[in-house]
Structure formats: C-alpha cells, structure tokens
Amino acid sequence: MKLLSGNSNRVLAGAIAAHLDMPLTKAQVKRFADNEVFAMIEENVRGEDVFVIQSTSYPANDNLMELLILTDALVRASAKRITAVVPYFGYARQDRKTDGRTPISAKLVANLITRAGADRVLTMDLHAGQIQGFFDIPTDNLLATPVLAQDIKENYPRDNLMIISPDVGGVVRARSLAKRLDADLAIVDKRRPKAGESEVMNIIGDVEGRRCILFDDIVDSGGTLVNAAKALMDKGATEVSAYISHGVLSGPAVQRVADGPLKELVITDSIEQPDEVLKCPKIRRVSVAPLIGEAIRRIANEESVSKLFD
C-alpha cells in the first residue's frame, strides 16, 4: 500500500506514516498563480492500495479540492483502490434541512468524494452518525473515545468524576465515555437562537462538588463550552475541563478558552493548529495517529476495524 498526503495536516500524516513505518508517497500539491490547485504524484501507483490523508478543515474548500484532485489523479494513474482518509470531515454540521430552501451539504460533499473516484472512506467522529449513510461506498467512522478515555485515566483522579454532555444531541457520545470510566453523567440543556450562538437553560443532574469533564465532537467558536463551564461552576462544580475530538477553534475561540473558567481543553490532532492554539497554556493535544494508522493497516490487510473499539 501507499500513503499520500495533501496539505491540510502534514504533521498528522507524517505521524501516521511513522506509526506504519513507511514513507509518504512523493507528490506535489501546490497552487497556480490564480490559486487553482495543481497536483502531481511523483511515484508509480499502478495497482496499489492508496490511502489519501486529508482533513477538510479550514480552509475547507481548498482542502476539499485538494482531496478531490488527488483522488482523480490516482484514478487516472490506475491505482487499484483509493481510500479517502478524512480525520475531520468538514460540512458535517449541515447534515439535514433545518429550514426551508437550505442544502444538505454533508451529502453533497459525500457525493463529490465518491464521484471523484474514492472506493472507501475512513473518517473519525462524524458530527452525526447518519452521515455514514450519505456515502454509497464503504465508510468507517473511527471513534476517538478510547484515546481520550485513556488520557483522562492518566491525568484525572477517578473519584468524584462526572462526564457532561454539552447538549441533548451528544448524550450517546458522553454516555459511552462515562461507561468506559465508570463515571456519572449529566446533561447541559441549551438552546441555540441562531447558528454560532448558544444559551444554557438548565443543568440536568447534580454537579455540586464534582470534577466535571465536558465531552463533545467539535469546538468551533468556543461559546457553547465556555457558557456550559460557567453554568456548571455556578451549580457548584469544583472544576470543569473539556475533551473534544475536533478543535476547529475559529474566531475568538482561543481567547475565550484562555479567559474562561475551563481548567483545560484537550483536543486531538485531527486538525492542524496555528501557533495561537499551540501556545495557549490551557489547550493540550492528544494524537490519534496510532488509531488512524492501525485502522489503515487493518483495512489494507482486510481485517476488522470495529475490533479497535471492543
């Protein structure tokens, strides 16, 4: 097999390659003068099982186009099988019609990846499970929960621990983590007046005197997390931390985390972060390279991927 990387997360791609003890395939992915994407694979891939590692994070459109163009290049170079490895799947929050005359962008992106020539998709912590069904090709949705649960075990005392879902929609995800840690579960009841804004209405569960960990899949502007942390502290929590799969961290998110009541924010390296995030003392990263690398190895060897979560 061969590993190929776009420009969205070269650090993670290198870590995955190191885990698998194999080099990244040589390729050029750059821009023309008018910012169009140019790609050229500099090694023979005929008959190869190729894994294209590319998150569709900011700038989402550029990174998505790189993924599509690299996939097309592999199809035309007669690769045997092409797996799109998308650690962070952009446009996933637009997974249904929430109002009249709105798109289902997650389905559109799934169609684009399929039509470009991908034979399989490997992603992690999709915003909604039904997005797997948007693809007409085999799709594996890895869970970062085991990696994050292990980090919690290593860094937090187990007594008095409580896992918090920041909204009703994330209860299943939070319950899974709570079960692994044998911890209690509470829920933040919030409403969202409009996209990008949230308001905490109530806390479902007794958090007084508890060490709380908010658990979710995406942190974008950071407003929901900071508001939830404030509400938990007001209800008597001794401390509040957050574990999030994908650190989008746009706009004032880093400043909100730095100035807010969160003890720390732990994210994975599914998205390559700017210096502003890397230098923030309250933000820590956990690598999912071993998880993704092992999944790639299992797919290449036709072994079970679901065994990773037993």
The annotation places the binding site for Mg(2+) at 127, 167
Binding residues for D-ribose 5-phosphate: 192, 216, 220-224
Among 219, 203, 51, 198, residue whose Cα is nearest residue 127: 219
Task: Report how far apart the first and last C-alpha atoms of the chain are (Å, whole number).
Answer: 26
Q: Which residue type sits at 173?
A: R
CA dihedral (78, 79, 83, 87) in degrees, to 10, reads -100
Structure tokens that stand for 70 in this block: 């690299």
What whole-number distance in Å separates Cα of residue 162 and Cα of residue 195? 28
In sequence order, which residues have a C-beta less than 8 Å from that of residue 76 and are 6 or more positions away? none
Q: What's the helix, strand, coil split of the chain in %, to 5?
A: 35, 25, 40
129 to 32, 124, 139, 149: CA distances (angstroms):
37, 11, 11, 20
Structure tokens that stand for 173 in this block: 């995800």
Options 97, 190, 194, 279, the catalytic residue: 190
Binding residues for ATP: 34-36, 93-94
Binding residues: 34-36, 93-94, 127, 167, 192, 216, 220-224
268 to 98, 106, 129, 286: CA distances (angstroms):
29, 22, 19, 5
Neighbours of 132 (CB within 10 A): 15
Active site (annotated) includes residue 97:
no
Burial bucket for residue 14 (CB in 10 Å: 0-12, 13-18, 19+): middle
Residues carrying an active site annotation:
190
